[in-house]
Amino acid sequence: MTARPDALLDPPPSADPARPTLIDRLLRPHPNALAIERGNGRPTISGGAWFPLINLIWLVWVFIAPWLSDSANPQRTLLTYATVPLFLGGYLRAWYGDRRHARHYTAAIAALALLTVPLGTTVSYLIYTGALLPFVLQPRAVLLALAAVLSVFVAVAMLAGAHLIPVLGWTITTAAITALNLFFAINTRRDAELRLSQQEVRRLAATAERERIGRDLHDLLGHSLSLIAMKSELADRLFDRDPDAARGEVRELRQIARESLAEVRAAVTGFRATGLAAERVSARLLLASGGTQLSGGDHWPPLPADIDAALALCLREAVTNIHRHAAASEVDIDLRIDAGSAWLRIDDNGRGGIDDGLPGNGLRGIRERLAPLGGRLDIRSPRGGGTRLELCVPLAARGPAA
């Protein structure tokens, strides 16, 4: 009876609404509902929104249990069925209403479960309560609430004359489902926080790069435009007195403009690249979200800006592939300068068996980024023996390090 509320952290609102789905039309879920997944910074109804409805299959016990009881009678059966609309109202509002009120609906379901214990056929409500608790309370509060609800349940059931073995069975089942959902909820929160941390690292790196580009453009364009303005005024004064000198000034203007354009292009090169150092931090966060430990790369030598940017993008591609496909528990990254070349090594202990010829595995993109720099990619990936990627880029005739 697990659920999938994939957004336990609220994203910023967006004016771009999602396309209405069947759940939208039937249930009109709140944008801040527990059962709503989120993507691209806006609420979207996705497959996870169906899980609370699928879990209602366990409600079948409430309908068939009265006919299996030795003490079944029409009055008790009708009373049992009369509780179902009350349960459904609270359950659907807990999952599809405003999550700020979800704990209130969960408390109402718990109260309904405890009040109907004497009927002996509505114990499913108790399990639904346990399934909801991890998503509406903090972990410590979940344990306290579960202990309180189960204690009252056992006491009421025993006073109502229930047998001990079934009572213990329902109690253990409720505790187990609550523990399972609590583990799921904690991991989901942790993954969401890691994703936000990774996005923050990239945002800060992009902000620093924008500031650098702003400073460079100010210095470059300020000097160049001042020189162009001065040369233009001089050429204008020389046109009538000395046409040859004026043409010389115009030629210099053309050369200055070309050099300025080249400098501006160099300044904005790598704008989208975060650099190897920032990319390693981002990689650590991404891998940690999947339970993979990253080691190495604490002290890397400085590299020319174009090589640093290209290797950062290659590292991002490689780490993304490891996170998605390798099923690795450990990844080691190392960068060294040897024999006039920069060597970036990425090792993982995953499943291996990479087929270099298959499209879509990211290796083609890595090679395409290395090709303009005269670099190469070497791969060792025995099946079941992990994968080693070794990227080599020559440093000969390169500019200063970044």
**pLDDT one-digit tens code per residue, 235-285:** 888 887 888 888 888 888 888 888 777 777 766 655 544 578 878 877 887
Question: Within this chain, do residues 264 and 282 fall inside the same structural domain, yes or no?
Answer: no
Tell me if 39 is assigned to some domain.
yes
77-82 long-range contacts, Cβ below 8 Å, gap at least 24? 79/119, 80/116, 80/119, 80/121, 80/122
The pLDDT assigned to 85 comes to: 92
**pLDDT one-digit tens code per residue, 292-340:** 888 886 678 888 888 888 898 899 889 888 888 888 899 999 999 988 8
Asked if residue 289 has pLDDT above 80, the reply is: no
The pLDDT assigned to 172 comes to: 94
Amino acid at position 155, single letter = A
Question: Within this chain, do residues 168 and 32 fall inside the same structural domain, yes or no?
Answer: yes
Among the listed residues 312, 311, 318, the one whose alpha carbon sits nearest the alpha carbon of residue 332? 318
Question: Within this chain, do residues 26 and 113 fall inside the same structural domain, yes or no?
Answer: yes
The pLDDT assigned to 233 comes to: 84
Tell me if 189 is assigned to some domain.
yes
Question: Within this chain, do residues 56 and 158 fall inside the same structural domain, yes or no?
Answer: yes
Q: What is the CATH number of the domain that holds 295?
A: 3.30.565.10
Number of domains the chain is built from: 3
Rounded to 5°, angle at Cα 168 from 164 and 173: 155
Question: Within this chain, do residues 76 and 212 fall inside the same structural domain, yes or no?
Answer: no
**pLDDT one-digit tens code per residue, 141-156:** 999 999 999 999 999 9
Rounded to 5°, angle at Cα 46 from 44 and 48: 120
- Among 151, 179, 195, the domain boundary falls at 195
Asked if residue 7 has pLDDT above 60, the reply is: no
> What does the alpha-carbon distance between residue 402 and residue 400 come to, in Å, rounded to a whole number?
7
Give the number of C-alpha atoms closer than 13 A to the C-alpha of residue 208, restricted to the C-beta side: 11
Q: Which domain holds residue 333?
A: 276-394
- Among 268, 299, 325, the domain boundary falls at 268
Tell me if 6 is assigned to some domain.
no
Question: Within this chain, do residues 286 and 373 fall inside the same structural domain, yes or no?
Answer: yes
Asked if residue 40 has pLDDT above 60, the reply is: no
The pLDDT assigned to 41 comes to: 35
Is residue 333 a contact partner of residue 368, using CB atoms and an 8 Å limit? no
> What does the alpha-carbon distance between residue 263 and residue 284 come to, in Å, rounded to a whole number?
34
Question: Within this chain, do residues 34 and 76 fall inside the same structural domain, yes or no?
Answer: yes
Confidence of residue 5 (pLDDT cuts 50, 70, 90): very low
Tell me if 9 is assigned to some domain.
no
pTM for the whole structure:
0.50
Tell me if 127 is assigned to some domain.
yes
Confidence of residue 186 (pLDDT cuts 50, 70, 90): confident
Question: Within this chain, do residues 178 and 90 fall inside the same structural domain, yes or no?
Answer: yes
pLDDT mean over 14-25: 52
Confidence of residue 125 (pLDDT cuts 50, 70, 90): very high
Q: Give strand pairing partners of 333.
A: 346
Question: Within this chain, do residues 170 and 238 fall inside the same structural domain, yes or no?
Answer: no
Q: What is the CATH number of the domain that holds 207?
A: 1.20.5.1930
Confidence of residue 2 (pLDDT cuts 50, 70, 90): very low
